[in-house]
Amino acid sequence: MINLEKIARHHLHHQPFRWAQVDGLYSPQDAAALAETYPCDHFKVVKGYGGEKDYEYEARQLIAMTTGQVVNPQALSPHWMALAQDLRSSAYRQALSALTGLDLSVAPMEVNLFHYGPGANLGPHPDLADKVVTHILYFNDSWNPARGGCLQILGSRDPDSVFEQIPPVVGNSAVLVRSDTSWHAVSRVVDDSPVSRRSITVTFYRPGSTSSMWPEGDDTPLHDYSPHRQGVTHGGADWYA
């Protein structure tokens, strides 16, 4: 499903921090099928208000950090099951290790899906210190950057210090190597956006880390995502990248 050789042979940018944009990850047929069958099941609302991390959004587990297993596989299309199995493979870890120069062979990993509804955004932030590498993959069949929803590589915490902007089009992806200066953001999705911004985030952690997204004993109700839900974020909600 994923062109792992393309990831492994890609190169990292070193300014303003270590990152890469890798596109063309799937065949045209697979890309179309993944965009068409992007999951809308078993999502939860994640929200918090106060301080610098006000946020509200929709999230779904794809691969659990605790077990490494695909979550709710019965609801996934064959193409999404194939993608999940690729992400669980040692070959995928080897490809990202070759790209980043970091040994990710045994790093704890989780994969989550996100819908960004109208008004959603993510303020400038570097990822949490327990993260090592994040791979963000996108699944909109088309996207006008004027609609917002683009990953912005920043030179500093200043939201205007945009170094590069990456649209969330299927087959496109971004790899971020975490550092104290790995500032990035997501531009605000316009209020009248007809579709959500659709992505998954693959996160590799330092040993001993736990998931703050899906803490043990979490009993938040799950639901099918509705395009009429409007998640609105403010500030640095780390999970929206």
- pLDDT at site 227: 56
Q: Name the average pLDDT for the chain.
A: 89
The structural domains of the chain, ordered by start, are 4-240 (2.60.120.620)
How many Å apart are CA 36 and CA 27, to the nearest integer?
14
- pLDDT at site 49: 56
pLDDT at 220 over 90: no
pLDDT at 226 over 80: no
Average pLDDT for residues 126-144, to the nearest whole number? 96
pTM of structure: 0.91
- pLDDT at site 33: 98
Higher pLDDT, 236 or 59: 59
Average pLDDT for residues 79-96, to the nearest whole number? 98
Q: Which residues contact 62 (CB under 8 A, 6 or more apart)?
A: 39, 70, 71, 84, 87, 111, 112, 113, 200
**Other CB atoms within 10 A of residue 161 CB:** 15
- pLDDT at site 212: 78
Q: Which of 40-44, 76-80, 115-119 has the highest mean predicted lDDT (pLDDT)?
A: 76-80
pLDDT at 191 over 70: yes
Q: Are 189 and 88 in contact, with CB atoms under 8 Å apart?
A: no
Over residues 27-70, the pLDDT tens digits come to 999 999 999 999 999 998 776 654 444 456 788 999 999 999 99
Over residues 163-173, the pLDDT tens digits come to 999 999 999 99
